[in-house]
Chain A
Amino acid sequence: MAFCLFLLYKFNAEAYRERGKYMRAGHGRFTSYIGMLAVDFKRNQAIYLMAVPVLAYYILFHYAPMYGAIIAFKDFSPGKGIIGSPWVGFKHFVDFFNNYYFWTILRNTLLINIYGLLWGFPAPIIFALLLNELRNNSFKRTVQTVTYLPHFISIIVICGLIRNFTGTDGLINDIISSFGGERSNLLTRPEMFRTVYISSGIWQGIGWGSIIYLAALSCIDPALYEAAKIDGAGRWKQMLNITIPGIAPTIITLLILRMGRMLSLGFEKIILLYNPLTYDTADVISSFVYRRGIIDASFSFASAVGLFNSVINCCLIIAANKLSRRFSDTYLW
């Protein structure tokens, strides 16, 4: 949400800087922003009209509700409504930061996201690259279909499967014991939680995530490959020098967007898989707030935490974009 506001400012500022080109074209007498918009509108009416529903959607569902975020600074009570509830300033934020578990849940959220990034982000890329090397088309298509399917399975079913497989007499323990290891319920061991969470996420998302990379791969000019073959490059060198640089813009764009979700972690999968024994590593910001909400319908507290999340995420994505701007020529803005 804060990110949207920031983008809006940036976008308008740049457009305003370029108003000059409208003057030089000879159209319009105004140097103001409105004038520039009016000129552009006359030129491209259809396009602006097409954008109206999209704009309306964003205004109605994303910008207008931002006003509700002020309940993070109030003691919201449904009976009094947003305006009638009293102001309490930063009380909820202080409450959150002073909480005994604050550092634990912050650390867990960041760690799960960072490990997810480290392992989960390259996985679809590697998978797409591997698929790309396949020659047998029907095998390739079968593999793609089979790997897409887990994406469509509901998270509840997935977690039921996970609980079953990680049980003391479940499938995974059968495999472990056949290798001579000791059986244990994986979901009761805090050190295993991240592994279970991230690997099941990879398994579910690898097929679907590879679609966009496969699309990018198909955009690479085959002439480059031919030229490389003539120069004597083997498959591996081709991949290093052509394929990967070819999809680099896609990778970087997706990476920047991913940075904007570093502090968010949907609580559904967490609360389905965790239990008090794994709170040390499994309890994240969203699940903690969810439990807090059960004792007392803390709308204000949840909003405060949400606002905190958004602000941090916004900073992260701006930083990622700035870095990307300096070190590569792919950037979002």
Chain B
Amino acid sequence: MPKKYARILCIVAATVLIVINLVGCSQPKDKSTDGTGDTSSENNLPSTTATAGTGDTSTGNSLPIVKEPITLKYWVGFNGSALKVLKNYNECAAYQELEKRTGIHIDFIHPPVGQEKEQYQLMIASNDLTDIIEEYWNATYPGGPDKAISDGIYLKLNDYIDKYAPNYKKLIAANKGVAKQTITDAGNMWFFGAVTVDKTASWSGPVFRKDWLDELGLQAPTTISEWYTVLKAFKQKGVEAPYLLDSRGYPDYGSVIGAYGVGAWFYQVDNKVKYGPIEQGYKDYLTEMNKWYKEGLIDKDFATRDRKAEDAMAISGKAGAWVGNYGQRIDTYMTAQKDDKNYALVAAPNPSLKPEDIPHFRQQDMPVSGAYKAVITTACKYPVEAVKWMDYHYGEEGSRLFNWGVEDLSYKMVNGKPEFTEAVTKDPGGLPYDIINWKYKVHNGPYLVDPTATPPYSKETEIAREVWTKAINDYALPSTNMLPEESSEYSSIMSSINTLVSQMRLKFIIGSEPLSKFDEYVNQVKKMNIERAIQLQQAALDRYNKK
């Protein structure tokens, strides 16, 4: 190759390499994209005349909130279900309409799905804060919200809410449950949460293959011994893994383990905190699970099975029972199942030991969700406007926007009550409600949640909601806060205890440790200072109850 061309080629190659490197170095701001969102054209809505300009003046601030448009940066975890229809929350019809009404433009910054906690910590550690941050399940400020305020990261909202957030203020004043969860032990108000005032039905619990039960002439089991009978019958029928036990060794929300009167972790009885893994009832649970495992009633590889593999087993008929929520583990399986015409699922109640007992644990929504807490940071230059903007989420018009979407697009008023349109319930693309709703409304977020804002339930889901709500949840711990000094001591005690407990739980179930060693294990946990951890939890609970 002539020398001249060789040189040019080298320069071009070097430039390309450098550019590739720089691209790789850019901030992962909107890296949640994975969806085939063809939604840009459909979401350019004509401006609705209904509410623009007129204010929600009955209670709440007047709209629009600002005369000159401003931009606020909003950091929020991107919900995995929305990946198929959105690249960024700004494409959601509800948020677009909100911008038209309030005049405030929001710059959404999404961490990659699954990396919320890491990205949150990076943001905090580098002090590169956005105006609003929505805390996600475990992406919370280390040391707690009181520390966040005293460290100067979060804004203390008490005065702002008092003056500029009338809707939210009204909610807190009218509901003691909401008040307890929004005001910290130190008296700080620090977030706007996902508030559900009306009681909701339980959405998670045990599920069984109905067609097999009918075939064997059995009813959905209600006690542990009935479970044993049913699972044994499934096994004899030739099912490979009758019961899909979660890889941790216990199902969510205290199903099954609740039959023994203990929780898998900390819980309380009459306001006295207890730790499940050292209680006698826990040993009984492990003994029963061990028996089931030995007889092949539990999936042999449950400890290494991930969700995708479990889904595949449930759909293909290798499993007959599992515990989960009706969206993902009833409806999704029913729609994915294409070959077996007889495939049918039915929900069973959370089991108890004796038929007349009522289990003390079930899935129950709290008045304020543990996730989706929007905080305003000290980096925000327009705190008053931000508070007013958040407050709109809790007024009648605002919450209607988040719960139902945009009128005539995603819902219509029928006899004075909103109902979803076919765009949501019967999506032409075949997407289930769980996914398509994100195009128009916000399924999970900080606003006043209307639990009736769902499409009509399938028959199985109706049964599930009724059956799962039969149990009560009085043994569960409310969401308490620890003091900053306590929390670092607590975490250093619990990290070793959690390792030991999770190890031994699986070993006892599989049988690699005999249950005769249970007392030895309890002594070991006590030596690791579990009593002090129980003390700390008790102190937190006492403070919560006094509020």
Kindly list chain A residues whose C-beta atoms are within 8 Å of the C-beta of B152: 79
The answer to whether A297 has its CB under 8 Å from any CB of chain B is yes
Kindly list chain A residues whose C-beta atoms are within 8 Å of the C-beta of B148: 79
Kindly list chain B residues whose C-beta atoms are within 8 Å of the C-beta of A147: none
Q: Which of A9-17, A235-243, A275-283 contacts B (4 or more CB under 8 A)?
A: A275-283
Question: Size range of the interface on B?
Answer: 35 or more
Q: Kindly count the residue-residue contacts between A and B in the assembled complex, taking CB atoms under 8 Å apart.
A: 89
Partner of B499, one of A95, A101, A167: A101
Contacts A78-B151, A292-B491; A276 near B505 (Cβ below 8 A): yes
The answer to whether A250 has its CB under 8 Å from any CB of chain B is no
Instruction: Give the nearest-CB partner of A297 in chain B.
Output: B142
The answer to whether A328 has its CB under 8 Å from any CB of chain B is no
Shortest CB distance B114–A (Å): 12
Contact present for B304 and A188 (CB under 8 Å): yes
Partner of B304, one of A163, A296, A298: A163
The answer to whether A57 has its CB under 8 Å from any CB of chain B is no
Shortest CB distance A163–B (Å): 6
The answer to whether B143 has its CB under 8 Å from any CB of chain A is yes
Contact present for B125 and A78 (CB under 8 Å): yes
Shortest CB distance B511–A (Å): 11
18 pairs, CB–CB < 8 Å, chain A vs chain B: A77-B142, A77-B147, A78-B121, A78-B151, A79-B124, A79-B148, A80-B151, A101-B499, A163-B304, A185-B303, A276-B503, A277-B512, A291-B499, A295-B494, A296-B492, A297-B142, A298-B142, A298-B491
Contact present for A185 and B300 (CB under 8 Å): yes
Contact present for B125 and A188 (CB under 8 Å): no
Interfacial residues of chain B within 246-271, with CB under 8 A of chain A in the complex: 247
The answer to whether B286 has its CB under 8 Å from any CB of chain A is no
Shortest CB distance B241–A (Å): 10
Contact present for A185 and B147 (CB under 8 Å): no
Contact present for A99 and B496 (CB under 8 Å): yes
Contacts A185-B300, A296-B487; A78 near B492 (Cβ below 8 A): no
Partner of B300, one of A78, A168, A276, A283: A168
Distance A61 CA – B487 CA, assembled complex (angstroms): 33
Shortest CB distance B118–A (Å): 10
Partner of B510, one of A100, A101, A188: A188
Q: Hey, what's the 0/1 contact readout for B490-514 against A, CB within 8 Å counting as 1?
A: 0110111011101101110010100
The answer to whether A8 has its CB under 8 Å from any CB of chain B is no
The answer to whether A187 has its CB under 8 Å from any CB of chain B is yes
Instruction: Give the nearest-CB partner of B495 in chain A.
Output: A292
Kindly list chain B residues whose C-beta atoms are within 8 Å of the C-beta of A99: 496
The answer to whether B153 has its CB under 8 Å from any CB of chain A is yes
The answer to whether A157 has its CB under 8 Å from any CB of chain B is no
The answer to whether B488 has its CB under 8 Å from any CB of chain A is yes
Interfacial residues of chain A within 296-331, with CB under 8 A of chain B in the complex: 296-299
Distance A280 CA – B487 CA, assembled complex (angstroms): 27
Instruction: Give the nearest-CB partner of B378 in chain A.
Output: A79
Binding site for B on A (CB under 8 A): 75, 77-81, 95, 99-101, 163, 167-168, 185, 187-188, 275-277, 279-280, 283, 288, 291-292, 294-299
Instruction: Give the nearest-CB partner of B120 in chain A.
Output: A297
Shortest CB distance B310–A (Å): 13
Interfacial residues of chain B within 139-196, with CB under 8 A of chain A in the complex: 142-143, 147-148, 150-153
Interfacial residues of chain B within 44-98, with CB under 8 A of chain A in the complex: none
Kindly list chain B residues whose C-beta atoms are within 8 Å of the C-beta of A276: 303, 499, 502-503, 505-506
Kindly list chain B residues whose C-beta atoms are within 8 Å of the C-beta of A188: 301, 303-304, 510
Kindly list chain A residues whose C-beta atoms are within 8 Å of the C-beta of B500: 100
Kindly list chain B residues whose C-beta atoms are within 8 Å of the C-beta of A80: 151
Kindly list chain A residues whose C-beta atoms are within 8 Å of the C-beta of B494: 295
Most chain A Cβ neighbours within 10 Å, of B147, B153, B495, B498: B495
Instruction: Give the nearest-CB partner of B143 in chain A.
Output: A77
Q: Hey, what's the 0/1 contact readout for B512-539 against A, CB within 8 Å counting as 1?
A: 1000000000000000100000000000
Kindly list chain B residues whose C-beta atoms are within 8 Å of the C-beta of A296: 142-143, 487-488, 491-492
Kindly list chain A residues whose C-beta atoms are within 8 Å of the C-beta of B510: 188, 277
Shortest CB distance B369–A (Å): 20
Distance A288 CA – B124 CA, assembled complex (angstroms): 23
Report the 4 A-B pairs with minimum CB-CB distance, sorted nearest first. A79-B151, A297-B142, A296-B491, A276-B502
The answer to whether B138 has its CB under 8 Å from any CB of chain A is yes
Partner of B503, one of A75, A95, A277: A277
Distance A174 CA – B429 CA, assembled complex (angstroms): 42
Contact present for B301 and A168 (CB under 8 Å): yes
Instruction: Give the nearest-CB partner of A76 in chain B.
Output: B125
